[in-house]
Amino acid sequence: MLALTVILPATSSIVSGPQLGWGSYNAFGVDATDGQVRDTADAMVNLGLASLGYRFVLIDDQWQSKDRDPETGKLVANPSKFPHGIKPLADYVHSKGLLFGLYSNAAEVTCSGSLPGHLGNEALDAETFVEWGVDYLKSDNCYPQGVDNTNVDKYTIAWAKSLWDGGVVQSPSERERYLPMVAAIEAVRPRRNITLELCLYGWDHVEKWASTTGDHLWRATQDIADNWPSVTYNLDCLDTDRFYDTSGPSKGWAYGDALQVGHSLSTSEQRSHFALWAATKSPLFLGFDLRGRAKNDSSVVTVSNRDLIAVNQDLNGKPARCVMGCTSKTTKVLCAEWWGGGGQRRELSAREPSLWPPRGSTKVEVWTAALSGGAHVVIVVNRADGDEVVKFDWSTDAMIPAGCFALYDMWAHAVVGNVTSPLDEYAPSAKLASHAHLAFRLDPVGLYPR
């Protein structure tokens, strides 16, 4: 069938889509230093990542000294890691055309256990961030019960309230501990726009109260680890009704955690991970050491896919959902599992085993979302351990509305065929390899009214 008008994918226009950047945690753990951060900012520019829209440079936990300034009460940077303090580093990052982010925690101490968090100091810390030129705050969610209970229970789940409320809640609740910082960030907004990452793992129905301005993102998951089960577990946490209507350009974004691209996943796993994060409208934070990488490094090429970044930033802002073969719909995923520490899985369920029926898995999944201009994104991913046959109907399985579309392959960067819905099915002769995916964009070709 002849394509009359093909709407080609936008390239790099970044408006108010999910946040794009680099975060230090998956690359350097809690050990980031001034030199590493400067070199990373340089690399973001030199590798062309900055011009693709990756703007934030975020320093994670343990940038702080143990004690606040005894006279002013202000946070102080660890002098052995950040000998010039924070402001000169933020200035350097800004001089590269990038934005600067810092980490804190909605408790008295941070997640690594002994450094100061922001609870009770929200207004002062927001003022300090303005003074230093901070553009982004990641606010974590460990040790809600304060210093006396520090290291006793990092999470202190209020199970009774969680069961009643239908979502994990701590004690004191996330709402109680985060709203003062939400208000403090709002209060300084006339002087500095600070994007707030509510890193509270999707608990306490964050989507209902986090997005006052739209310049927010909320972690929907526990920590991602460098392995495929963790990536797909976090993916399933994004696929819920509660995030579908509550995230978007004027609302905020549900976040599957920073990318594990650039570490030990296979190349096709890295690509699938990136495509699925892009299509689900997760913010995209790179998490690997960019220093010394070349533009043609396969991980750099993966995260430089302009077509997928354009899908992520599409103005329609609707997250892709799983519509065929979905693990997330055949099993119960509570999104409270932790995969850190060398990829070992620990279930918070140990305290409430009845909440945790064993998860199954399916094979070929189809994920889709409507894009602006009548286009659609379709990601087909093989979650099985072996190669699988792919076969689906564009209309009944992939939920593509009636019409004619050019089928654009976002890795080949080319139109590879045409689709007429509801007539056509997709059934390639080649099997799809384990953990590999296909990333399509369907652009209306004008033969049908849109």
User: At CB < 8 A and 24+ separation, what contacts does 409-416 make?
Assistant: 409/438, 409/439, 409/440, 410/9, 410/275, 410/305, 410/307, 410/308, 410/311, 410/439, 410/440, 410/441, 411/271, 411/305, 411/439, 413/307, 415/3, 415/6
The b-or-e profile of 167-203 (16+ CB within 10 A means b, else e) is bbbbebbbbebbbbbbebbeebeeebebbbbbbbbbb
For residues 139 and 142, give the distance between their C-alpha atoms in angstroms, rounded to a whole number.
10
Side-chain half-sphere CA neighbours of 265 within 13 A:
30
385 is catalytic: no
Q: Are 333 and 362 in contact (CB under 8 A)?
A: no
- Dihedral of the CA atoms 120, 122, 125, 130 (nearest 10)? -170
Which of 60, 197, 207, 365 touches ligand GLA by CB under 6 A? Answer: 60
Told to check if 25 binds ligand GLA by CB under 6 A, we report yes
**Among residues 62 and 395, whose Cβ is nearest to ligand GLA?**
62
Which of 223, 226, 236, 239 touches ligand GLA by CB under 6 A? Answer: 223
Which residues inside 392-421 make contact with ligand GLA, applying CB under 6 A?
none
CB of 154 to ligand GLA, least distance (A): 8
CB of 141 to ligand GLA, least distance (A): 7
**Among residues 156 and 434, whose Cβ is nearest to ligand GLA?**
156
393 is catalytic: no
Told to check if 111 binds ligand GLA by CB under 6 A, we report yes
Residue nearest to ligand GLA (CB): 111
Told to check if 30 binds ligand GLA by CB under 6 A, we report yes
Annotated catalytic residue, options 140, 239, 257, 289 = 140
Task: Name residue, tokens 């829209």.
Answer: 53
CB of 25 to ligand GLA, least distance (A): 5
Task: Name residue, tokens 């296979």.
Answer: 266
Which residues inside 181-220 make contact with ligand GLA, applying CB under 6 A?
199
Number of other residues whose CB lies within 10 A of the CB of residue 87:
15
CB of 59 to ligand GLA, least distance (A): 10
CB of 333 to ligand GLA, least distance (A): 18
Which of 16, 46, 65, 112 touches ligand GLA by CB under 6 A? Answer: 112
Q: What is each CA distance from 342 to 199, 230, 292, 336, in whole angstroms?
A: 21, 11, 25, 18
CB of 140 to ligand GLA, least distance (A): 5
Told to check if 255 binds ligand GLA by CB under 6 A, we report no
**Among residues 25 and 82, whose Cβ is nearest to ligand GLA?**
25
The contact mask relative to ligand GLA for 64-103 (x = CB under 6 A, - = no) is ---------------------------------------x
Q: Which residues pair with 407 in a beta bridge?
A: 417, 442
CB of 60 to ligand GLA, least distance (A): 5
Q: What angle do CA 386, 285, 282 make, to 5 degrees?
A: 70
Told to check if 345 binds ligand GLA by CB under 6 A, we report no
Task: Tell me the angle at which helices 267-279 and 228-238 cross, rounded to the nearest 10 degrees.
Answer: 10
**Among residues 117 and 444, whose Cβ is nearest to ligand GLA?**
117
For residues 86 and 89, give the distance between their C-alpha atoms in angstroms, rounded to a whole number.
5
For residues 275 and 354, give the distance between their C-alpha atoms in angstroms, rounded to a whole number.
34
**Among residues 103 and 394, whose Cβ is nearest to ligand GLA?**
103
**Among residues 63 and 274, whose Cβ is nearest to ligand GLA?**
63
Annotated catalytic residue, options 34, 223, 257, 314 = 223
Told to check if 156 binds ligand GLA by CB under 6 A, we report no
**Among residues 18 and 202, whose Cβ is nearest to ligand GLA?**
202
CB of 444 to ligand GLA, least distance (A): 40
**Among residues 285 and 408, whose Cβ is nearest to ligand GLA?**
285
Q: Are 19 and 312 in contact (CB under 8 A)?
A: no
Going across the sheet that includes 136-140, the strands are: 253-255, 216-219, 195-198, 136-140, 99-105, 56-58, 20-23, 284-286
Over 59-87, what HEC string results? Answer: CCCCCECCCCCCCCCCCCECCCCCCCCCH
Site size toward ligand GLA (CB under 6 A) is: 10
Which residues inside 116-155 make contact with ligand GLA, applying CB under 6 A?
140
Residue 20, classed as helix, strand or coil, is strand
Which of 34, 61, 197, 443 touches ligand GLA by CB under 6 A? Answer: 61
Q: Which residues pair with 99 in a beta bridge?
A: 56
Active site residues: 140, 223
- Binding residues (CB under 6 A) for ligand GLA: these are 25, 30, 60-61, 103, 111-112, 140, 199, 223
